[in-house]
Chain A
Amino acid sequence: MPYTALKKFTVLDLSNRLAGSFCAKTLGLYGCEVIKIEPPSGDLTRKWSDSPNSCEPGDSPLFHHLNAGKKSVTLNIDSPEGRDILGILIQKSGVLIETFQPGRMESLGFSYKSISDTNPGLIMTSVTPYGQTGPHSEFDYTELTVFAMSGAMHREGLPNRYPIRYGAEVAQYYSGNLAAAATVSALLKFLRKGKGDWLDISIQECMAGHPHQIGRRAPFIYSGELDPREQPRISASGTREPYAVGTFRCKDGFMSFLPLGARMWPNIARMIDREDLISNPLFEDSDKRTANRIELESIFQGWLNERTRQEIFEAIQEAGIPGSPILRSDEVMKNEQFLNREYFTLVDHPQQGQIKLTGDPFRLSAVDKMPLRPAPLLGEHTEQVLTETIGIDTNHFMSLRERGIV
C-alpha cells in the first residue's frame, strides 16, 4: 500500500518505455500524484507482447505493473493545442519524467531551459538508454542491447558459450529506480532552496556503475586482471568454500548457497552429518578443500539428493550458511515470509478483476498509507484532470475530444 510521504508533489509522466515509467510508478508508491500522458492510441506497453497466452483481451501484465496508482490522460502532443495543454500541465507539476530521444523535448518547445524559466522549481528527470550527450545518445535500444553495452553481460554465462543477460529487465528497472532516488533527493533540495534541477540518467551508465561492475572493473585497472566467463564453481574458488558455492540440485528443485569463508567449513561438515571430515587432513584448510573439491562436492551432493528445498533451507539456517531455494513465480507468491508480511497487494481492476501486485519496496514507520489503485484505463482521468486541474470547461473539453486531441 502506498505511503503519503510525497503527496505534496505532482509528477507528470511522459515516459513511453520501462525505465521512466517505473521511476514514476515508484514515486507514486510514496505519495506523488502521478499523471501519465498517453497518446490517444495508448501507451506502447499496454500491448507489449512480453507475456504470451496471458493478456488477451486487455492490457499487458507489464502495463499493470508499471502503472498501478497512476492517472491516465490522453493527449496528442503533436497537435498545437495538445502541446499547449501539456505546457500548462508542466507548469503545474513538481516533477516531469521523460524518456524521449535527446532533443525531442526541445523540438516540442519544452527544453529544460524554457521550462525552468517559468517553473524554476521543477525537477525534470530524463531517463534514456545512453544519456543526453555523446556519440551514442540517439541509439535505439532494448534491454538486451543496452545491457550488452554496460559491461555486465560479457562475463555472464559459460566460457564456451554465448554471453547471456540476467533473468529480468533489470537494466531498465534498476535505472528507473536510481532515477526515482535522484528525483526525491532533488525534491529535498527544492524544499530547502526552492531550486529545481534537470537529471540526465543513462541506463548504460547506471548498469556500468553498478556495484558488481565497478567491483570487477577495479581489478582490471589496478592490475590488468580480466574477468572472463567461467564455470561458477571455478570462479568461486577464491576465498570461499567452492564445493558448496553456487546452485545445486536437490530432491525437489534447486538450492543456492554462498558459504563465506573457511569458518563455514565445520558448520557444513556437521550439517551433512560428516563431523569426521573436519579432522581429515585432506580437507584441513581452505586450499586443501579447494584442491579436493570434487570429492567434497560429491559428498555434499549426496546429502542434498536426499532432501527437499524446505528441509535444506531449515538446515542451513541452523548452520548459519546463507542460501535459499530457487522459487518459481507461483511459489514466490505462496512463500510464508512474503505472506506473513502481507507483501503482495490486492487491487480490483474494472476489466481484469482482482490482481495481486508487488508491494512496497520499503516500509516507512512514520507515514500514513493510502489504498493502491490499479493501473488506469486508457484516458480514464482525462476529463477529471483537464477540467479540475487545468480548468477547461465542458464544451472546450468536448471539442478537444471530438478533434482527437484528447
Chain B
Amino acid sequence: MNFNSTDELPLSGIRALELSEIWAGPYCGCLLSDMGAEVIKIESIQRIARGPINPSPDGMYPEQDPGNHPWNRQANFNSTNRNKKGLTLDLKTRLGVEAFSNLVKVSDIVFCNYARTVMEGFGLGYEQVKSIKPDIIYLLMPGYGNTGPYKNYRSMGMAIDAITGHSYLRGYPDMDHTSNSLVHHPDAAAAVNATLALSTALVHRELTGEGQFIDMSQAESFMTHMGEMFIEYQMSGIPRNRRGNRHPGYAPQGAYKCEGEDNWIAISITNAEQWNLFCEIISLDLDKDPRFSTVEGRIKNHDDLDAVITTWTSVRERYDVMNALQAKGIPSGVVLNCGPDTYADPHLNEREFFQIVEHPEAGIFPMSGPVLRFNSSYGSVTHNPSPTLGQHNNYILEDILGYSKSKIELMEHMEIIGTVPLPGADLGGSRRAAKEQARQKNTTLNNAENE
C-alpha cells in the first residue's frame, strides 16, 4: 500500500502556472499540487500579494515576529500555498513576458483568479497564450463569469455569498443580516470547481489532443451547492428562509452548551428511534412530556426542548456527551474550534491530518494536511512548505528553461526577478505588518536607549 512516491499521484507530470492571490486561486493551486501537479506560482517583486486577510498583525507570524522578510512568514500565505514552486516575474517587461511564454511552452495549464482583464493587459490573454501553445488549458474565474453585464464587476467571496442567495440563509433567525459572519465559503467552492474544471480539461486533452479556454463564474459554481432551494421555490412559491441550526423536518437539532468556557455539542435527532434512545440517555422524563412526543410537537416547542437539553449538557464534558450519544448511533459532534481543539482531535491525529512542515523562513510547525487521499500514493510526502518569494527562480529559469547564468543575472539586475520586494513596492496586506514591525523596532530601540 505504501508506494512512498509522488509518481503515483494522479496529476504527476502535469505543470500548471498559477497567477492568483487570496483564497480561490491559491487553493485551487494547492489542490492541484496535492494531487502531484508541479504548480509554479508566479508573483512579482513590484507588487506583493501575500497579505493577511483576517489575522491581526500579531497573529500572522511565527512567535508574533515578522522577521526580516515578513512576506515569507505570513500564516495565511504559508497555509494556502503548500507544495508549490515560487517564481517572480515582472510581466510588464519584455524579458518577463518572454520567460512566461517560454514556460507556457512546457506547461499544461494556466489559471488565474485576478480580475478578468489583467492577463490581457500583459498581452497574455487566452488567444495569445494559445498561439504559443495550441493545446494549453486556460482558466479565468471572475466572480460573475467572463461574459454578461457583470463580467467586469469586482467581487470577493462576500459578494458571491450575497448574490447567490447563501447570505440570505445565514445567521440567527431572530436577528437581521447585519450580524452575519465575515467568513465566506464561495472561495472554497470556486477553488474546488476550478480544480475539477482543469482535471476535466486534462482528460479531454488526453483523449483528443485539444486544449481549451474555461469560463468559470464563481457565483455559478457555488450555486450548485444549494440547487435544491431554487427547485423548492419553484414547487412551493415560497423562498427559503433562515433556519439557524434547526431542520424543518426533524427535531431537536442544535448546538448545546457544555461544561467549560464556550464549549458546545452539536446534536441532531433525525428519527423516532433516535429520539427514544436520546430520552433513555438523558432520562429527564422527556419521553413523558406530551409536548415532545411527536416530531411536530418537538419542532413547535423547540425552544422549550432546547432548554431541557441544555440543563443536561451544560454540566457535562463535551466529548463525554458525544461519545455517549454516538455509542447509541445518535448523530452528534463536538463543536471544535479551529485552533487547539482540532489539533487535539484524536481522530484527525490518528489519520495524520496534521503534518510537520519545515519552512525555511517560518520554522517547523504542524500544518493542516492535504485532504484528497489516494490509496495508491498512501504515505507519500504530500505537504511541502509554501515557497518563499522567488525561491525557485533559479530552478525554473535554469533547469526548466535552460537560461544561462548571465541571463538570469541580467534579469535580476533589471529587477524582473528577485527575492525581496522592491523599495516602494505595493506590499498589499504586508504594508500594515511592515509598519507595525517598524513601530515595534522603534519602541525596542527607545527602550534600549532609555535603559
Asked if A232 contacts B238 (CB within 8 A), the reply is no
Partner of A162, one of B169, B184, B245: B245
Closest Cβ of chain B to A259, distance in Å, is 10
Those of A332-385 within 8 Å (CB) of chain B: 332-333, 335-338, 340-341, 343-344, 352, 355-367
- Given contacts A226-B339, A328-B239, are A173 and B225 in contact (CB under 8 A)? yes
Q: Are B54 and A215 in contact (CB under 8 A)?
A: yes
B303 to chain A, nearest CB (A): 12
At the interface, yes or no: A174 with Cβ under 8 Å from chain B? yes
The reply to whether A178 and B177 form a contact with Cβ atoms under 8 Å apart is no
At the interface with chain B, which of A33-41, A73-81, A217-225, A269-277? A217-225
A208 to B342: give the CA distance in the assembly, Å.
Answer: 8
The residue from A50, A144, A211, A337 contacting B268, defined by CB atoms under 8 A apart? A144
Q: Are A223 and B195 in contact (CB under 8 A)?
A: no
- The answer to whether the Cβ of A239 comes within 8 Å of any Cβ in the partner chain is yes
Is B145 in the interface zone, CB < 8 Å from A?
A: yes
| Bound: A199/B9 CA distance, A | 12
How long is the Cα–Cα vector from A66 to B229 in the complex, in angstroms?
12
A325 touches which of B61, B163, B340 (Cβ 8 Å): B163
Indicate if the CB atoms of B200 and A5 lie closer than 8 Å.
Answer: yes
Most B Cβ at <10 Å: residue of A50, A147, A248, A325: A50
- Closest residue of chain A to B266 (Cβ to Cβ) is A148
**Residues of chain A contacted by B176 (CB below 8 angstroms):** 249, 254
A181 x B63 contact (CB < 8 A): no
Query: When the two chains form the complex, which single residue of B27, B180, B215, B347 contacts A135, counting CB atoms closer than 8 Å?
Result: B347
Given contacts A6-B203, A133-B350, A360-B220, contact A330 B233 (CB under 8 A): yes
B contacts with A, residue count (CB < 8 A) = 171
Interface hits, B143-176 → A, CB 8 Å? 144-145, 147-150, 153-172, 176
A131-B351, A209-B369 as given contacts; A247 in contact with B180, CB under 8 Å: yes
Cβ-based interface call for A118 (8 A) = no
Give every chain B residue within 8 A of A219 (Cβ-Cβ).
55, 59-60, 75
Q: Does B6 contact A (CB under 8 A)?
A: no
Quick check: A168 and B365 within 8 Å, CB to CB? Answer: no
Report which of A169, A182, A256 forms a contact with B374, defined as CB distance below 8 A: A182
The complex places the Cα of A367 from the Cα of B204 at a distance, in Å, of 8
A206 contacts B by Cβ under 8 Å: yes
B30, B60, B221: the one contacting A222 at CB < 8 Å is B60
Spot the interface stretch: B281-289, B329-337, B395-403.
Answer: B329-337
A220: nearest residue on chain B (CB-CB)?
B339
Q: Chain B contacts of A66 at CB under 8 A? A: 228
Q: Is the CB of A92 closer than 8 A to any CB of chain B?
A: no
The CA of A333 and the CA of B10, in the complex, are separated in Å by 38
CA distance A226 to B341 in the complex (A): 11
Highest count of chain A CB atoms <10 Å: which of B30, B54, B266: B266
Bound-complex Cα distance A359 to B342 (A): 36
Q: How far is the CA of A149 from the CA of B333 in the complex (A)?
A: 6
Complex CA–CA separation, A177 to B56 (angstroms): 32
User: Smallest CB–CB gap between A363 and chain B, Å?
Assistant: 4
Task: Give 5 new A-B contacts, CB below 8 A, not counting A211-B27, A352-B235.
Answer: A50-B249, A168-B169, A325-B163, A327-B165, A364-B212
Pairs across A and B, CB under 8 Å, 28 listed = A135-B346, A136-B346, A140-B331, A144-B254, A148-B265, A149-B345, A154-B336, A168-B225, A178-B371, A184-B200, A185-B10, A191-B203, A209-B353, A209-B371, A214-B367, A215-B75, A215-B79, A220-B343, A222-B365, A225-B58, A236-B182, A329-B168, A329-B232, A337-B150, A358-B220, A359-B220, A362-B216, A366-B211
